[in-house]
Structure 1
């Protein structure tokens, strides 16, 4: 069942169209990766979902409620973390966390304390002394300590070091196990690839590709590197072979899924000494979609 539904969503700023017919669904217990570079429309979409911006046209619902009209009711069941967190400078990190969790209701003190420990945060320091990474930690701890059904995370790991990114990923997987849903907006492709069940790629305000990770991998090319005993004749003439390069006995190329069988057959006839095949990644898919494309508003 869809927790979040967007249908033909548009948003204009004057004559500029920031969102142009966006459609996406986030189901219960699903982690949805919303990807695109800065300027593609990710944050504009999220601001509409939060009731901060009013859509020009189209529909957006969370828990079956309209995001603009029913924003107050919806906010009781969602947790939001932006990519640049601003805190009250004279409060401590712990006081801010406690305030946010209290406003949400249903939070656990034990869970809060565990998250503070996991994120290695000193909650007794004033917020004005915190680095960007520590400000992000405060928001993430408050979000994951709350009893929310949907987590809307907009570039949430901005400023975190790799160790803390791993803690964040563990938290996301934990809420998924509880049947909660996550909308993760990010341009860190490895993070999305590791966490998300489904992705949507947005470009210039339009969703240009969406689906489960396993469904989208066929759109990317596998990287092949082979050390051979003799040259391979005719490989360049095969359909679906790209970026072919040879350096001595080392051959490298990119192969579309349909070309892999024929390519490996030809390699096997030339004495394979060493063969490396790197599976297609989300970054390959992302770069192919954005090749030569511009952006819009973020």
Structure 2
């Protein structure tokens, strides 16, 4: 079942076209990754989905309801964590978490206390004393304490250390196992790769690639380290070979996955002494799409 859909979503800020026909679909019980550089249109898309911005054109529906017109009803079923959390400075972290739980119609629960412990958060401190990472923890505890059906997470691990990132990943997997849906916008590609069932890449306000990770890895390259008995000649000119570097007696290079058979056959003629390979990653895919762009949005 489809939980969230955008069709030809467009947003203009004056003459600037921030979104240009964005189509995404999030299904029930899946984690959907939404990646792209700063300025690509990720946060604008999420703000439209949350009813914070009105689309110039196109549509955005969540649970079959319009994201703009039915925003109040929809927020009863949505938990949102932004990448830069602002909290009431005079309240403690625990008070803020309890306030968010109460606003959703819930009560203080064992789940809330468990999450505070797992995220190693001191709930008695005033929010003005919290670091960025601790402010993120407050938002994450509040979100995962709620019984939401859809979690919209915009750079949620910003400011967290690797140990807390792992706790976050565990929480995402737990809500997924409960049949909940997660829309995760992140620039930490290894995080997206670990958690997401499907991914959409946005660039200049357009979706340039989407699908499951298995579907998309055909666009990536495998990195090889190869040492041979005889010197390899004309390696750089082989179809599908990129970024050849010499490291002592070995060569390190990348190969398009669809050309791997041919390249291995070529290498074998020189007598392979050592070969190491690194599997394609989402980062390879991302960098290949943005090669030469310089990260501009």
Q: State the TM-score bracket (shorter-chain normalisation).
A: over 0.9
Contact 1:220 1:285 in 2 (8 A): yes
Pairs within 5 Å for 1:249-264: 249-264=249-264
Per the TM alignment, residue 191 of structure 1 is displaced from its structure 2 partner at its CA by: 0.7
Q: Check 1:108–1:98 CA distance in 2 against 1; reply closer, same or farther (3 A cut).
A: closer
CA RMSD of aligned residues (A): 1.3
- After superposition, the C-alpha distances for 1:24-71 in whole angstroms (9 at most, x for unaligned) are 000001101100111110000000001010000100000000000000
| SS, match of residue 95 in structure 2 | helix
| SS, match of residue 236 in structure 2 | helix
Per the TM alignment, residue 84 of structure 1 is displaced from its structure 2 partner at its CA by: 0.5
Partner of 1:191: 191
Partner of 2:82: 82
* C-alpha distance in structure 1 between counterparts of 2:107 and 2:145, whole Å: 6
Partner of 1:267: 267
Give TM-score scaled by structure 2 length: 0.96
* C-alpha distance in structure 1 between counterparts of 2:199 and 2:218, whole Å: 14
* C-alpha distance in structure 2 between counterparts of 1:269 and 1:174, whole Å: 50
Q: Does 1:57 align with 2:52?
A: no
* C-alpha distance in structure 1 between counterparts of 2:198 and 2:253, whole Å: 28
Partner of 2:296: 295
Partner of 2:202: 202
Contact 2:218 2:258 in 1 (8 A): no
Per the TM alignment, residue 91 of structure 1 is displaced from its structure 2 partner at its CA by: 0.8
| SS, match of residue 235 in structure 1 | coil
Range with bigger deviation, 167-176 or 255-264: 255-264
Per the TM alignment, residue 104 of structure 1 is displaced from its structure 2 partner at its CA by: 1.2
Structure 1 unaligned spans of 5+: none
Structure 2 unaligned spans of 5+: none
Aligned residues: 296
- After superposition, the C-alpha distances for 1:102-128 in whole angstroms (9 at most, x for unaligned) are 111346611000000000001011111
* C-alpha distance in structure 2 between counterparts of 1:231 and 1:108, whole Å: 68
Per the TM alignment, residue 199 of structure 1 is displaced from its structure 2 partner at its CA by: 0.5
Q: Does 1:68 align with 2:68?
A: yes
| SS, match of residue 54 in structure 1 | coil
* C-alpha distance in structure 1 between counterparts of 2:59 and 2:11, whole Å: 11
Per the TM alignment, residue 247 of structure 1 is displaced from its structure 2 partner at its CA by: 4.1
Contact 2:98 2:108 in 1 (8 A): no
- After superposition, the C-alpha distances for 1:137-188 in whole angstroms (9 at most, x for unaligned) are 0000000000000000000000101100000000001000000000000111
Partner of 2:243: 243
Range with bigger deviation, 207-216 or 247-256: 247-256
Partner of 1:44: 44
Partner of 1:224: 224
* C-alpha distance in structure 2 between counterparts of 1:95 and 1:215, whole Å: 45
| SS, match of residue 236 in structure 1 | coil
Contact 2:243 2:253 in 1 (8 A): yes
* C-alpha distance in structure 2 between counterparts of 1:218 and 1:206, whole Å: 21
Contact 1:92 1:127 in 2 (8 A): yes
Per the TM alignment, residue 260 of structure 1 is displaced from its structure 2 partner at its CA by: 0.8
* C-alpha distance in structure 2 between counterparts of 1:201 and 1:139, whole Å: 26
Partner of 2:33: 33
Per the TM alignment, residue 269 of structure 1 is displaced from its structure 2 partner at its CA by: 2.8
Give TM-score scaled by structure 1 length: 0.96
Range with bigger deviation, 276-285 or 136-145: 276-285
